[in-house]
Structure 1
Amino acid sequence: MTRILVVDDDPHLLRALTIALGARGYRTSPATDAVGALRAAADAPPDLAVIDLGLPDLDGITVIESLRGWSTAPIIVLSARHDETAKINALDAGADDYVTKPFGMGELLARIRAALRRAAPAEEQPVVTTAAFTVDLAAKRVTTAAGETRLTPTEWHLLEILVRHPGRLVTQRQLLQEVWGPRYEKETNYLRVHLANLRRKLEPEPSRPRYLVTEPGIGYRFVPDPPAG
C-alpha cells in the first residue's frame, strides 16, 4: 500500500486530507509540524510527501531539504504563498510540484496520481551512454564518473523524455504538459529550475551545457555524442 506523508499545521485540513487519501486506498503518516514530519518519515519512509510550507516550528523548505538528503520520493508542496520566488525556492529545494491554497481535493489527488506514475518503474528500455554520463532507462539509474547520481522523480522524468528523443527539440509546452499537466503550460520557471539541477548533476560544465541544451524561448534538446569514427 502506498504511504503518503501529509504535513500541515491546520488540523481540519490535515484531517480532510487524511480521510480523502485513506478513502482512496493510501496509507497516511500525518504530522502538524516539521519535527513530527521528519520523525514520521524516518519511522515509515513515504512513497510520496505532501508538505505545507507554513509550519509552526520550521519552514517547510527545511523539511523538503531534509527529506531530499536521503529520499527520492515525490514531494508536493501545499502553500498559501503565490509568488514566483516561493515556488522557485521550493522546487530548488527538491519539491516536484507546487499547489497553492485554496485548492480542489480532486486536483490534488490527480497531482498525487501523476507524481506516483512518474516515480513508478519504467518498462525495460535501452541504455543511453555519453562521455559524461550513462542513463539506464530500465533501472531508472544515472551514473557519472563519480558513480550513481541521485535524481528526484521530476528530474528523472524530464531527463527520460529528452534522452528518448535524441537530437530532437522538445518544446517547453510538451515538457510541462507531460510532466506537470496541461494547466502548467506557462510555468516555464519549473523547467528552468529542474534543468539547472540536472545540469549541475550531469554536465561537465553546467554553465556551458553540452548535452542538455536550451533552445531559447522554445524548449530543450538532448544532444548525444557523435558516432565514433
Structure 2
Amino acid sequence: MAKILCVDDEPHVVTLKCAILETAGHDVTACTSAKDAIDKLEHNSYDAVVTDWRLGDANGRAVVQAAKDHSSMPVVVVSGYVAEAFQAAEPLADLYLEKPVNPEELVTIVNELLRSEHSGEPRAAQPTNR
C-alpha cells in the first residue's frame, strides 16, 4: 500500500480521485489547496502525488515543485489544461493526464509509476490521453 497525496480544488473531484485510489489499496490524503498540499509535503512522507494543475490558490507547479524538493516520488498532473501544465512544468512532473480521467487508467498509471520508482527505472515526463 502506497501513501498518496491527492490535490484538487474541487472537493467532489478530489473525493472521487481519493476513492478510486483507496479502492486500489492505497492510503490517500486529500487536499483542496496548494497551500495545504505543500504543508503536508513538508511534514509528512508520501510515495506519490496526484494533483490538478489549476488550483484556486496557486497553480500545480507549486505542488509539483514542493513534491520534488522533498523526494523523487512520482508526480501525476491530472488537468483539463494538460498542454499548459506540460509546457510549464515538463521537467518536473512524471505524467500528465487529461480530465476527465478514466478510473482504471489513473490506477494503472499510478501503480506503474510506483513500480518504476521502486525498481529504479528512469522516468521521462510525458503528456498522455491514452
Shorter-chain TM-score range: 0.7 to 0.9
Report sequence identity in percent. Answer: 29
Task: Please provide the CA RMSD for this pair.
Answer: 2.2
> For 1:104-143, what aligned pairs fall within 5 Å after superposition?
104-122=102-120
Question: Are the equivalent residues in 1 in contact too, given 2:42–2:70 (CA < 8 A)?
Answer: no
Relative contact order, higher structure (CA 8 A, sep 6+): 2
Q: TM-score, normalised by structure 1?
A: 0.52
Larger Rg: 1
Mark the CA change 1:120 to 1:88 in structure 2 (over 3 Å): closer, same or farther: same
User: What is the CA distance between 1:82 and its match in structure 2?
Assistant: 4.0
Residue by residue, what CA displacement relative to the aligned partner does 1:146-177 show, whole Å, maximum 9, x if unpaired?
Answer: xxxxxxx515xx9xxxxxxxxxxxxxxxxx8x
- Aligned partners of 1:110 and 1:35: how far apart in 2? 28
Aligned to 2:29: 29
Matched, 1:91 2:60: no
Q: TM-score, normalised by structure 2?
A: 0.87
Displaced runs of 4 or more, over 2 A: none
SS across alignment from 1:66:
helix
Structure 1 or 2: larger helix share?
2
Residue by residue, what CA displacement relative to the aligned partner does 1:69-90 show, whole Å, maximum 9, x if unpaired?
Answer: 221000000111143x431322
Aligned to 1:149: none
Residue by residue, what CA displacement relative to the aligned partner does 1:80-122 show, whole Å, maximum 9, x if unpaired?
Answer: 1143x43132222x10000011121111111101111110135
SS across alignment from 1:88:
helix
Mark the runs of 5 or more structure 1 residues left unpaired by the alignment.
Answer: 123-139, 141-152, 159-175, 184-229
Aligned residues: 129
Question: Are the equivalent residues in 2 in contact too, given 1:29–1:40 (CA < 8 A)?
Answer: no
